[in-house]
Structure 1
């Protein structure tokens, strides 16, 4: 029931497109724009749907906007998380602070698959790197997870220490000191590494609520 309510709300947020043409992807938009494509068979032939997300452009309430194009023309728009009914199913889009975390086509029969990134986009370049160097790609992905795990561990320490120092608790377990004390420069470096890790994972549309949210 909750999922149906969320679906109805997402559909109610959809605004009609203005028919403007999809602008080509530019090299300077690598860090600020995501562009994904989907080719669907229709009764009239094949329709190309394009999802255009400008990460740093928000509406008046601070929500990231998603624009849907059909055959190169602006078809619809919605804030995230967005859901667009299309031929034979729906396109679902969700974002995080680091980029896309979901951009999938869900067919009416329940089959789901991810949209294809534009070759010129950062997601497209990351997918090409994975195709050309799968071993190195897996290593980069593992480093991203390691950076985020370190971030989660440091966050848990920051949360636990003040709690364990509350007088009634401290009386029971004794004095508690941080397991790790880091210099400021290393703390900043690890923070940057965690942000880079989440950004790299977003280029592959990977997201975990604990790693990518708490790890930064």
Structure 2
């Protein structure tokens, strides 16, 4: 029931496209644009190619980022995020986070989930190429990202617990807590930057969890 409600809401956000051609990805758009493809073979042997173009900016009218759906190189539809575009055989679901995309997947009618293919020139495409060509280095980056998030979130929670526990109703019921760790401002700032970089790296791989949500 909840999923049906979400689908109905997403459908209301979709507007028709204007037929403009899809522009090629340029290197200087790395920080400002994400581009993904979904080729779908047809029964007659043809192949339709869907593309999802996400400018990394907010909509000036609604204040939310938009996803643009292209079909065979032409603008087919657009929607504010999160978006769910009905396509041949299923739905393309797109959602973002504070650090980038957390979802850009094709969900079939049968419920199978397939990630879309990033443009090789995009930041997501370059990260995927690193994973293919240097898997060991890619795993090391992934491990470091999780480690930075765990350290940053864990230390911040310890430091936040102390002032929260001193609120009179909480202190009277469970007692106050004194954090064993008090970090200097510069180190807290460095940990915050590390957590942001870690979540950004994970967003390039469309990885998102509660850990990323807490760390933002």
TM-score of the superposed pair, with normalisation by structure 1: 0.93
Determine the C-alpha separation between the residues in 2 that align with 1:176 and 1:190.
23
Query: Are 1:51 and 2:52 counterparts?
Result: yes
Correspondence for 2:103: 102
Deviation digits for residues 50-99 of structure 1 (CA, Å, limit 9, x no counterpart):
00001123242211100000111100000111011111111110011111
Deviation at 1:177, TM superposition (A): 2.7
Correspondence for 2:23: 23
Deviation at 1:167, TM superposition (A): 4.0
Residues 1-216 of structure 1 correspond to what in structure 2 (within 5 A)? 1-43=1-43, 45-167=46-168, 169-170=170-171, 176-208=177-209, 210-216=210-216
Structure 1, gaps ≥5 residues long: none
Is contact 1:42–1:87 with CA below 8 Å preserved after alignment? no
Residues 119, 164 of structure 1: alpha-carbon distance in 2 compared, 3 angstrom cutoff: same
Determine the C-alpha separation between the residues in 1 that align with 2:186 and 2:95.
34
- Partner SS, residue 66 of structure 1: strand
CA RMSD across the alignment:
1.7
Is contact 1:144–1:198 with CA below 8 Å preserved after alignment? yes
Deviation at 1:168, TM superposition (A): 5.6
Residues 160, 47 of structure 1: alpha-carbon distance in 2 compared, 3 angstrom cutoff: same
Residues 177, 66 of structure 1: alpha-carbon distance in 2 compared, 3 angstrom cutoff: same
Deviation at 1:184, TM superposition (A): 1.4
Deviation digits for residues 25-54 of structure 1 (CA, Å, limit 9, x no counterpart):
111111121100010123561111000001
Residues 168, 78 of structure 1: alpha-carbon distance in 2 compared, 3 angstrom cutoff: closer
User: Structure 1 stretch 26-35 or stretch 50-59: which is displaced more?
Assistant: 50-59
Structure 2, gaps ≥5 residues long: none
